[in-house]
């Protein structure tokens, strides 16, 4: 079994058809060790969100392979992929993606209910309490601040205890201080449960908090700031010797 939780090999993907076709991922390879945090940076339109969708099994490759925790996603049927995602991958979006007519508790319980967990509401309640929303369980998204809505989304993503947490500009819609609190929460949860965290951000300060920064440009890895010692373990705060 590989030490890598994520192995992306020669990933190639074109989206859209005809004159609207865009070659979004160009022979991209990326391996990420279990338990690490990686910040993905790059200009708008460079393929960052698409890369995350591929890692989450929400977008299929034209060529190449994505393997998560030893499972190659390509050969999986849609149903198998959905089940795998539910068990192994939590996703947080910039715009929260909560269901408006469901309470915070109901929102956080959705993935657990889909997985047939009888304790869905107990686990969701505990997850919401751990992100500081124990007093907001019965609130609807429209009754919550942006930061609180993102906390619900994080609780929903983390409640099934996924091995991989993917976040696409999780602080992009929040003010600076709220964004920092949300980042604190993501990193605390990651450290506590050993989750692998891959996040896209435009904020260099947020990316700098990750073990590693990967720069994407025009569908390619432009710079991979892999910090590592000889034994392959990460060293905080320094680039590997070249
Ligand atoms: P980023 O997140 O880095 O801003 P995206 O991954 O969202 O970039 O998009 C990368 C490129 O792919 C952009 O040029 C975008 O317009 C294009 N693109 C994304 N989705 C589609 C699609 N469904 N059809 C055609 N082009 C797309
Ligand atoms: Mg994007």
Q: Is the CB of 213 under 6 A from ligand 1?
A: no
Give residue-wise pLDDT tens across range 90-120.
999 999 999 999 999 999 999 999 989 999 9
State residue 20 phi and psi, 5-degree precision: -90, 0
Q: Is the CB of 94 under 6 A from ligand 1?
A: no
The Cα 55–Cα 57 span in angstroms is 5
Contact 101, 82 (CB under 8 A): no
Contact 112, 120 (CB under 8 A): yes
Give residue-wise pLDDT tens across range 141-170.
999 999 999 999 999 999 999 999 999 999
26-37: average pLDDT: 97
Ligand 1 center to 201 CA (angstroms): 16
Q: Is the pLDDT of residue 21 over 70?
A: yes
Which residues line ion ligand 2, judged by CB < 5 Å? 49
pLDDT for the residue 82: 93
pLDDT for the residue 1: 56
In a domain, 239, yes or no: no
Q: Of all protein residues, whose CA lies closest to atom 7 belonging to ligand 1? A: 49
Q: Of all protein residues, whose CA lies closest to atom 6 belonging to ligand 1? A: 47
Record the pTM: 0.91
44 dihedral zone (left: phi>0; alpha: psi -120 to 50; beta): beta
Q: Is the CB of 238 under 6 A from ligand 1?
A: no
Ligand 2 center to 32 CA (angstroms): 20
99: Cβ contacts below 8 Å, ≥ 6 apart: 106, 107, 110, 141
In a domain, 29, yes or no: no
- Return the CATH number at 98: 3.40.50.300
The Cα 232–Cα 8 span in angstroms is 18
In a domain, 237, yes or no: no
In a domain, 16, yes or no: no
Q: Is the CB of 77 under 6 A from ligand 1?
A: no
Task: Please give the residue range of the domain that contains residue 197.
Answer: 36-60+75-232
% of the chain exceeding 90 in pLDDT: 88
In a domain, 137, yes or no: yes
Average pLDDT, the chain: 92
Q: Is the pLDDT of residue 3 over 90?
A: no
209-221: average pLDDT: 96
In a domain, 11, yes or no: no
How far apart, in Å, are the Cα atoms of 2 and each of 42, 112, 193, 212, 227?
28, 28, 20, 19, 19
The Cα 136–Cα 242 span in angstroms is 50
pLDDT for the residue 130: 92
Please tell me the number of the ligand nearest to residue 94's CA.
2
In a domain, 142, yes or no: yes
Q: Is the pLDDT of residue 232 over 90?
A: no
In a domain, 22, yes or no: no
Ligand 1 center to 51 CA (angstroms): 10
Q: Is the pLDDT of residue 237 over 50?
A: no
Number of domains in the chain: 1
pLDDT-derived band at 88 (thresholds 50, 70, 90) equals: very high
Residue 240 burial by CB count (10 A; 0-12/13-18/19+): exposed, middle or buried?
Answer: middle
The Cα 147–Cα 181 span in angstroms is 8
Question: What is the torsional sign of CA 23, 26, 27, 30?
Answer: negative
Ligand 2 center to 44 CA (angstroms): 7
Please tell me the number of the ligand nearest to residue 41's CA.
1
């Amino acid at each position: 079994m590989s030490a890598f939780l994520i192995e992306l090999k020669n990933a190639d993907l074109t989206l859209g058809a005809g004159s609207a076709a865009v070659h979004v991922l160009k022979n991209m390879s990326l391996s990420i060790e279990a338990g690490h945090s990686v910040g993905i940076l790059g200009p708008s339109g460079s393929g960052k969100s698409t890369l995350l969708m591929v890692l989450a099994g929400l977008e299929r490759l034209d060529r190449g392979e994505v393997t998560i925790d030893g499972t190659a996603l390509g050969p999986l049927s849609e149903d198998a992929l959905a089940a795998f995602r539910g068990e192994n991958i939590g996703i947080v979006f910039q715009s929260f993606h909560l269901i408006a007519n469901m309470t915070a508790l109901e929102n956080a319980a959705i993935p657990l209910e889909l997985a047939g967990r009888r304790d869905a509401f107990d686990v969701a309640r505990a997850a919401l309490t751990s992100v500081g929303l124990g007093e907001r369980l019965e609130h609807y998204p429209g009754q919550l601040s942006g930061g609180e809505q993102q906390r619900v989304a994080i609780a929903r993503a983390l409640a099934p205890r996924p091995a991989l947490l993917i976040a696409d500009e999780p602080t992009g819609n929040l003010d600076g201080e709220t964004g920092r609190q949300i980042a604190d929460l993501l990193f605390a949860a990651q450290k506590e449960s050993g989750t692998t965290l891959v996040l896209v951000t435009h904020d260099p300060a947020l990316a700098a908090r990750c073990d590693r920064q990967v720069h994407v440009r025009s569908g390619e890895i432009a710079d991979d700031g892999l910090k590592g010692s000889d034994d392959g373990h990460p060293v905080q705060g320094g680039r590997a010797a070249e």
